Structure 1
Amino acid sequence: MALNRSHDPVVRELMAKARTTTRSINQKIMFNEDYLNLGQTRPKWTNLEECCQAAISRLDLGSVKVSIGLQGFEVLADPMLEKVFYRLMENSLLHGGALSTITISSKLTASGLVVTVHDDGRGISPGDRKKLFNWEFRGRRGHSLHLVAEVLHLSGMSIQETGYDGSGSRFEISIPPALYRQRAVLEPGERVQAPVTI
């Protein structure tokens, strides 16, 4: 409120910095809580589409559309799986530049299920791709993707970035057969149909 009322540019700048600092502190507190909770709860069967919808409900998408093609799939994972999709989409929104769409899709392969989170933003450089999931990637800002990798690792899954610089980021989550189920049986290489766009 003080930021909106003051006409002094110095006061407005100080208030803006204070708000940014407060937001940063809150994010760090939330991250620390998430990290401390890793592996504290037994894995459970989670509907992927519902999980993504819950993550989306906590994001400010602006004009960005999200297309989801995960109907029917459930995975046995750490209850923090929602935060995986939240962090991946948040990463797209923060670093993707002028993106317009995030697509979350699934594909069966000979080795299991692959869930892909892909955006049409600026993409990730080859140099950064190798370090994305490291604890110290980009200083302290890399922690969120490190958390993503840890949650998936604890659930018996893995993640890699397979996009191209300039063509959007593309995160692929590999899930072994014992950790997913679906009522409809798909052939290897077949995608789930009828994606939902938000």
Structure 2
Amino acid sequence: MRSHPFFTEPVEQRRIIIILAAITITLAANIIGLLQGITYVFPHLLYLPILLAGYWYPRHGTAIALLIAALYAGAALLLTPPELITTISILARAAVFIAIGLVVSFLTIRLRQSEEQLHDLIEFLPDATFAIDREGRVIAWNRAIEKLTGVPKMKIIGKGESAYAVPFYGEKRPILIDYALRRDPAIEALYEGVSRNGDAFEAEVIAPMLHDGRGAHLRCVATPLYDSGREIAGAVESIRDITGEVMARSALRNTNRQLKTISGIIRHGLSKRLEELYRHLTIGSMQISDPASLSVLRKIEGSADGIRRQIAISRDFREIGAIPPVWIPVQEAVHEAAARLDTKGMVVHAWTERLSIFSDPHLRTAISHLIENARAAGATALLVTYQIREDGCAIILEDNGTGIADDEKERLFAENIERSGHGLFLAREILGITGIGIHEEGESGRGARFVLTVPPEGYRIM
């Protein structure tokens, strides 16, 4: 078994001297006691060198215990009367010495093996990881943290007083592992936010000294270590360099912001041009009496309406996914979606009073596009119901319009569908954020039947 990382040669020398001194002193005390006729007190002193040898040198503990037992037995047999009971007592005591040495050595070997397994586990973790004991001394410092900080293990093992913070911050200061060791509010105040998951504490920090002083964004997770009595015996912290991830997130946010700005400018410009187009169409309708020309103007106005709906859809596309999903009552969403549209007399009725689903907050937008699709197909009524199935919950929207032709169903939710303005592609994208599927299973000429499939974990019956 290889030596523990913080063992050094002077320590080994001191241990050998202590064991030899303990053997010499305790044997001398026993010899003096035997010369004085004392045979029952001083032999207990021999447990000390046996225990020390078994713990410090478990591979040789049994041999050292055997040597001590032999020296004691030899001296005792020479210095005591040759009586049977006395001889048996001496040999029995020597056997106990050997047994104690054997047990201590065995238990220590098992303990060292467990320690080695723990250290090997930490050593080969992909994340930078280190551990400290109850006094704050470093007891583990793996290869990943050596690479991250540039500090070799032998220069940090055994050091305390927050020396492990220096490679990150350039000074000795408490960090997250200290907070896991002792819940000090002053340490928590050093971080913008510390989240807790069971016994683990997590935070994101900036370490200015890493990467040759350029700094690094780190995600840190620290957890206390407990002894057999559930008392805190130390703590361990894992560190991941997320600088690239943070930079990518920042770049993505900047890109999204720029795209939103550009799309807003484009939508505003198109809206202004549509206003001019509608104004000219209105003036043209008032000045032109020729039926053929009026028919052309109505077609132009229909195309303008399609452009207007596409602009509205593009605005909705910009916003989906920007807000985390929430639990939404379906009946409330249907009523709000219908209220925001001119249904032109189409009745929308929902039998979903107790149903809530986990969805993007723009669920109402998705439903409004389904309602608009039914209205465009000439429906006079739309019914919304739900069914609980083995694979989840099915929300069904049925109308009495013209329905969807079979050859059109395959491309119904495609982005480039020619039925522009109905927003079914957008509806599918909104629902898909939380794993809700959508398909159409109605019969052409008998109305459309859209089915929203909600996964088992995505619905509640209140």
* TM-score bracket relative to the smaller structure: 0.7 to 0.9
Aligned AA (2:363):
L
Change (3 A) 1:79 1:7: same
1:104 aligns with 2:388: no
Aligned to 1:36: 318
1:173 aligns with 2:455: no
Measure, in 2, the Cα distance between the counterparts of 1:20 and 1:167: 26
Higher helix share: 2
Measure, in 1, the Cα distance between the counterparts of 2:386 and 2:412: 22
* Count, aligned residues: 180
Aligned to 1:58: 340
Measure, in 2, the Cα distance between the counterparts of 1:127 and 1:14: 30
Aligned to 1:137: 417
Q: Is the 8 A contact 1:124 1:165 kept in 2?
A: yes
Q: Is the 8 A contact 1:81 1:151 kept in 2?
A: yes
TM-superposed CA distance for 1:9, in Å, is 2.1
Provide the aligned C-alpha RMSD in A.
2.4
Measure, in 1, the Cα distance between the counterparts of 2:390 and 2:368: 28
CA shift digits 1:142-188 (9 cap, x unpaired):
771111111111121100101011111000000012111122xxxxx
Change (3 A) 1:13 1:40: same
TM-superposed CA distance for 1:37, in Å, is 1.6
Q: Given the two structures, how large is their TM-score scaled by the length of structure 2?
A: 0.36
Change (3 A) 1:17 1:122: closer
Aligned to 2:375: 93
**Which one of 163, 186, 195 corresponds to residue 442 of structure 2?**
163
TM-superposed CA distance for 1:6, in Å, is 2.6
CA shift digits 1:29-54 (9 cap, x unpaired):
21111112221110011111110111
CA shift digits 1:77-101 (9 cap, x unpaired):
101100111000100111x23x321
Q: Given the two structures, how large is their TM-score scaled by the length of structure 1?
A: 0.81
Aligned to 1:120: 400
Change (3 A) 1:146 1:117: same
Q: Is the 8 A contact 1:134 1:142 kept in 2?
A: no
TM-superposed CA distance for 1:23, in Å, is 3.2
Change (3 A) 1:64 1:112: same
Report SS of the residue matched to 2:444: coil
Aligned AA (2:443):
Y
Q: Is the 8 A contact 2:306 2:420 kept in 1?
A: no
Measure, in 2, the Cα distance between the counterparts of 1:20 and 1:121: 20
Q: Is the 8 A contact 1:3 1:12 kept in 2?
A: no
Flag structure 1 segments of 5+ consecutive residues without an equivalent. Answer: 184-198
Q: Is the 8 A contact 1:116 1:170 kept in 2?
A: yes
Aligned to 1:77: 359
